[in-house]
Amino acid sequence: MKEIIESIKEGVLQGDREKTVEFVENAINAGISAEKILKKGMMPAMAEAGRLFEEGEYFVPELLVAARAMQGGMDLLKPLLVVEDVEPVGKVVLGTVKGDLHDIGKNLVAMMLKGAGFEVTDLGTDVDAEKFVEAVKSSGAHVIGMSALLTTTMVNMPVTIEALKTAGLRDKVRVMVGGAPITQAYAEQIGADGFAPDASQAARLALSYVS
């Protein structure tokens, strides 16, 4: 099993989408759980890509192909993590904030939320405050989740919270935030309801809002 997981890591780090997909298929066929493949294989690989980027060994193109390989593997895992055709436990509007194009973490959060039984409206990346507000209005969401990976874009989280207040929706929806630069302290500072450091804890947090 260790070898299969290592091969997945290599596939992502080399940005080889085809190989990554093949290795993930092998892992699934070998009976390794989707959660384990994600947590032990793909997520550490992306963290390693980040480290190599920080050290100047990887550049944006390497990150892009690694992200594409990761997405290829995630597409295979999605149906295994998501519960279909059950009454949703609640509705979540999710997006990466304005100016920010990072979506791997947000996509994982979406998967885990769906796996926990939520109906998720995924607004994608580069989502401005107005779009979040409109989606909350039209979907009647119980929870809104904002993701930011850049210190320059995390400041758009409080902008959305202000827009929710202006629209008279702040009391109707719980706001949770996450992404690499986000902390519990930052969540409190901007008046969000909660923060989670990873996708499984994000799902647990959202469940705590609807139970």
> What residues line the site for ligand B12 (CB under 6 A)?
43, 46, 49-50, 53-54, 60, 63-64, 67, 99-106, 108-109, 145-147, 149-152, 176-181, 196, 198-199, 202
Q: Which is nearer to ligand B12, 29 or 211 (CB)?
A: 211
Q: Which is nearer to ligand B12, 32 or 149 (CB)?
A: 149
Q: What are phi and psi of 143, to 5 degrees?
A: -135, 145
Q: Which is nearer to ligand B12, 20 or 147 (CB)?
A: 147
Shortest spacing between CB 52 and ligand B12, in angstroms = 8
CA distances from 42 to 77, 78, 161, 166 (A): 11, 13, 32, 40
Q: Which is nearer to ligand B12, 135 or 199 (CB)?
A: 199
Neighbours of 210 (CB within 10 A): 16
Is the C-alpha dihedral spanning 153, 155, 159, 165 positive or negative?
positive
Rg, C-alpha atoms of the chain: 17
Shortest spacing between CB 201 and ligand B12, in angstroms = 7
Shortest spacing between CB 38 and ligand B12, in angstroms = 9
143, 90 contact by CB (below 8 A): yes
Shortest spacing between CB 143 and ligand B12, in angstroms = 9
Q: Which is nearer to ligand B12, 52 or 85 (CB)?
A: 52
Q: Which is nearer to ligand B12, 30 or 36 (CB)?
A: 36
**DSSP H or E segment with residue 66:** helix 60-81
As a whole number of angstroms, the distance between CA 61 and CA 190 comes to 34
Shortest spacing between CB 105 and ligand B12, in angstroms = 2
Q: Helices 156-166 and 129-139, interaxial angle, to 10°?
A: 50
First to last CA, the chain: 37
